[in-house]
Amino acid sequence: MADKKMVEEITSMDVDFAQWYTDIVRKAELIDYTSVKGCMAIKPDGYAIWENIQAELDKRFKETGVRNVYMPMFIPESLLEKEKDHVEGFAPEVAWVTHGGLEPLQERMCVRPTSETLFCDHYKNNVHSYRDLPKVYNQWCSVVRWEKETRPFLRSREFLWQEGHTAHATAEEAQERTEQMLNVYADFLEDFLAIPVVKGRKTEKEKFAGAEATYTIEALMHDGKALQSGTSHNFGDGFAKAFDIQYTDKDNTLKYVHQTSWGMTTRLIGALIMVHGDNEGLKLPPRVAPVQLCIIPIQQKKEGVLDKAYELRDRLKASVRVKVDDTDKTPGWKFSEAEMRGYPLRLEIGPKDIEAGKCVLVRRDTREKIEIGLDEVETKVCELLDTIQKDMLEAARAHRDAHTYVARNYDEFVKTFNEKSGFVKAMWCGNRECEDKIKADLAVTSRCIPFEQEKLADTCVCCGKPAQKMVYWGRAY
């Protein structure tokens, strides 16, 4: 009974997707709630996923010339207010510090919701000549946004992220870096997290406060909702003018720098859960999984069984992140536990297997059981992990494509969103009024204007006027 009950504790995603999600983050011990309202404790298994994301992203950043720095967590109010659109965009979410010890502060400070203003202040003092450019900086830190509604990983008042901030001599260089980082993000999601994305530009309504242009990668979750998974912003010279960041160019004239900013957060862990998970729990792509292989000894009290499990672990640990479940639980419980924690592969070995010189590998993604010889364990495990990574991306892409629809008029558009969940591709005239109407009517937003444009019709899906762009629309987290 115990084995069965453990799996039953996860609410079925078809019954209540939000509860299914919460059950997984708690049962897989990724997070815990805390006494700090709206903030989560990230537990070792959750943080290990973040460490793998961080290490891989950091490596990819550095390959493009990025250097890491660290800025203060406090921003004086006068500094935050220098860029009007920026401060208006963040004002409702800012947390303020008003006292230092027992003394009221002369000027209140906010806990950083994002660090554009601090980087601008820094660049103003450190960029003087064209020789000082470009500045290609990134910081790993936490930020605070006073969200009304919170959900583990997807939206919390404090979250972990990286924020890149760059300064360039020309508009062309800034645009190039903006697109380059978006491509780094898209490749990372597909290669490492097995999450397919749509790349494109945000509409004026949805862009970042203070940016000239915002670019995004959008992923589709299992329930058909979109998740903005990474953004890259081109600031032009707007912040430079607000903060007076000028440099002397080769021709001895003063010019303003052009800036970019780009970020990814711990919400990627939420994306992993909602793109790949199932009713048995988490399902982690091998490249990001903290444990890629779990060895489960059968009848482990029998002589030689645990020794063989440890021997296999020692043989594999140079090439695979591996653990042995040597707890005193039943094998059935351990199988359920390995599935719920999302380990990509498990290896089962008992006395009969040892005698026959074999063991059984079980894939988490398909549940396929494969019997292999003990002498070929290293080769087969590595081959299978590569296959699982590839198959998980293909499965996620198939799901996204099956839940991407086309609407050519408003009746079709409304009907699709009322009856189905997913992305809807439709033409748009470019006017904010149509975006507002769609949001009011259907609680749907423009997700992005994809780089890969298609001409689905001549007219806007909403107003019937001539269409400018094809847009991906959806309901989002």
Give the tens place of pLDDT for each residue, 170-218.
999 999 999 999 999 999 999 999 999 999 999 999 998 889 999 999 9
* pLDDT, position 8: 53
- The residues with which 146 forms a beta bridge, in sequence order, are none
* pLDDT, position 7: 44
Strands (E) located in 374-441: 404-406, 423-428
For residues 67 and 184, membership in a common domain is answered with yes
**CA–CA distance, 409 with 390 (Å, rounded to integer):** 37
Exposure letters 220-242 (e unless 16+ CB within 10 A, then b): bbbbbbbbbbbbbbbbbbbbbeb
* 417: in domain: yes
For residues 138 and 238, membership in a common domain is answered with yes
Decide which of 229, 244, 276 is a domain's last residue.
276
- pTM of the entire predicted model: 0.95
Predicted confidence band of residue 312 (pLDDT cuts 50, 70, 90): very high
What CATH number has the domain bearing residue 258? 3.30.930.10
Predicted confidence band of residue 94 (pLDDT cuts 50, 70, 90): very high
For residues 272 and 297, membership in a common domain is answered with no
Q: What is the dihedral of CA 301, 304, 310, 316, to 10 degrees?
A: -130
* 89: in domain: no
1 pLDDT above the threshold of 50: no
For residues 331 and 460, membership in a common domain is answered with no
For residues 216 and 325, membership in a common domain is answered with no
Decide which of 321, 353, 384 is a domain's last residue.
384
Judge whether 346 and 311 are in contact, CB under 8 Å: no
For residues 267 and 315, membership in a common domain is answered with no
Please state the rounded mean pLDDT for residues 338-346.
98
* 338: in domain: yes
Query: Could you give the strand order of the β-sheet that contains 369-373, starting from the edge strand earlier in sequence?
Result: 322-324, 293-297, 345-349, 358-363, 369-373
For residues 186 and 140, membership in a common domain is answered with yes
Judge whether 448 and 200 are in contact, CB under 8 Å: yes
Task: Classify burial at 303, counting beta carbons within 10 Å of its beta carbon; exposed 0-12, middle 13-18, buried 19 or more.
Answer: exposed
For residues 65 and 214, membership in a common domain is answered with yes
For residues 412 and 367, membership in a common domain is answered with no
* pLDDT, position 80: 87
Please state the rounded mean pLDDT for residues 303-328.
97
Q: Is 475 left (phi over 0), alpha (psi -120 to 50) or beta?
A: beta
Please state the rounded mean pLDDT for residues 141-147.
96
* 51: in domain: yes
Structure confidence by residue, pLDDT tens digits, 257-295: 999 999 999 999 999 999 999 999 999 999 999 999 999
**CA–CA distance, 274 with 285 (Å, rounded to integer):** 13
What CATH number has the domain bearing residue 444? 3.30.110.30
What CATH number has the domain bearing residue 337? 3.40.50.800
**CA–CA distance, 347 with 358 (Å, rounded to integer):** 11
Query: Taking all residues of the chain, what is their mean pLDDT, rounded to a whole number?
Result: 96
74 vs 6: which has the higher pLDDT: 74
Please state the rounded mean pLDDT for residues 233-247.
96
For residues 250 and 196, membership in a common domain is answered with yes
- Structural domain tally of the chain? 3
Range of the domain at 442: 404-474
2 pLDDT above the threshold of 60: no
* pLDDT, position 92: 87
For residues 141 and 268, membership in a common domain is answered with yes
For residues 53 and 200, membership in a common domain is answered with yes
* 95: in domain: no
* 396: in domain: no
Q: How far apart are the first and last CA of the chain?
A: 37
Calculate what percentage of the chain has a pLDDT beyond 90. 94
Task: Classify burial at 337, counting beta carbons within 10 Å of its beta carbon; exposed 0-12, middle 13-18, buried 19 or more.
Answer: buried
* 310: in domain: yes
* 20: in domain: yes
